[in-house]
Amino acid sequence: MTVSEASTENITGLPPRAAPFASQRHPLRGPIEVVALVGLVIVVGLQLGSSLLFLITTAVIFVLFAMSVNVLFGWTGMASFGQAAYFGIGAFTVALAKDADIAPYLLVIAGAVVAGLVAAAFSVLAVRVSGVEFAMLTLVFGQILYLVTFRVPALGGENGIPGIPRGEAFGQSLSEQRSFTIYVGIIVALCLIVLHHIANSSFGAATSAIRDDPVRAAALGIPVKTVRILAFILAGTAAGVAGTLYAQQLTIVSNLSLFWLLSGNAVIMCLIGGMYRFWGPAIGALVFTGADWYLRQRFAAPILYLGTVFLLIVLVLPEGLAGLPDRLAQVVRRQRRTAE
């Protein structure tokens, strides 16, 4: 394939195959993949010191956030730059309930429900537009929530809400980082199994049909608007779960968890990893969190290096790191052909 062919392929952002996320080979493959990935990360993490364990837990939380954002970007082709809104709603739900004596996993469910409801309400407005307008609208909506935190004293403004207890789950105190990491691992793994299941359902197929060609999808009888709304609610709910875990991890919530740069970070994670592979955003989230942590320690302006890497990936490798094996195989094949 020549370079120009490769770029025309990307005109519609089409992945190289028609099936959404090819993993129907074996019904158990998905859950096993999830448990293996999250388990591996956590087992490695548990061997490390508690500050690294903290970092790895953050990375796992961002895996879920990036995967939720990719429901819109990679699955359905909806470019939302405002998913931090739902992440933040989840986080603030936990923060506002800090004095109530509720089990932490129930708070996770509560945060997910609240985030999902807000996403549902907003989606009715948001799906009236598409493309760049959708991107702008989602961003602006997220920013409104961010501004609200300055106006409503209960939300703490710039100082945020400190003193969130991690609580106990099944008789285990979560204030110890190891048990908290396992708690996060279990919840994220459950969410990813659900997402994987949905990705391979008829709903998942409908989202990719809409991403590839909304007009054709509508002609085939797919209710485009409904699927878009459902995808938006799904993404918001999953982002809400990630937000609740983030609040419990930090034990403080600030309005930075609503800020639009966080939405942007999630988009970068999706892109670095690869939007058109199911696992791409997870890889991206791990790489991003690690790189961000490293750059922050080394440089005064980490955003410069992060941005440059992001820009290069957009220009050179739009299919992301997950597409790298295929890309390399292609190059090798071409080399061989020219050698013959």
| Site of interaction with other proteins (CB under 8 A) | 7-8, 10-13, 77, 79, 81, 125, 128-129, 131-133, 135-137, 139-140, 143-144, 147, 151, 260-261, 264, 267-268, 271, 300-308, 310-311, 314-315, 318
**What's the one-letter identity of residue 24?**
Q
**Smallest distance, other proteins to C-beta of residue 255, A:** 14
**Smallest distance, other proteins to C-beta of residue 134, A:** 10
Closer CB to other proteins, 30 or 82, in the complex:
82
Q: Tell me the H-state helices in the chain.
A: 3-9, 29-46, 50-70, 84-96, 104-126, 132-151, 177-199, 202-212, 214-219, 224-250, 260-273, 280-298, 302-316, 324-339
Counting Cβ atoms within 10 Å, is residue 269 exposed (0-12), middle (13-18) or buried (19+)? Answer: buried
First to last CA, the chain: 16
CA distance 61 to 29: 22
CA distance 267 to 271: 6
- Closest to 85 measured CA to CA, from 135, 131, 146: 146
Closer CB to other proteins, 237 or 263, in the complex:
263
CA distance 130 to 132: 6
Closer CB to other proteins, 141 or 183, in the complex:
141
**Smallest distance, other proteins to C-beta of residue 268, A:** 8
**Smallest distance, other proteins to C-beta of residue 256, A:** 12
The DSSP bridge partners found for residue 173 are: 168
Distance of CA 78 to the CA centre of its chain: 14
Residue 168 phi, psi (nearest 5): -125, 145
Closer CB to other proteins, 28 or 152, in the complex:
152
Closer CB to other proteins, 88 or 167, in the complex:
88
**Smallest distance, other proteins to C-beta of residue 4, A:** 8
**Smallest distance, other proteins to C-beta of residue 156, A:** 17
**Smallest distance, other proteins to C-beta of residue 183, A:** 33
Closer CB to other proteins, 55 or 135, in the complex:
135
Closer CB to other proteins, 245 or 271, in the complex:
271
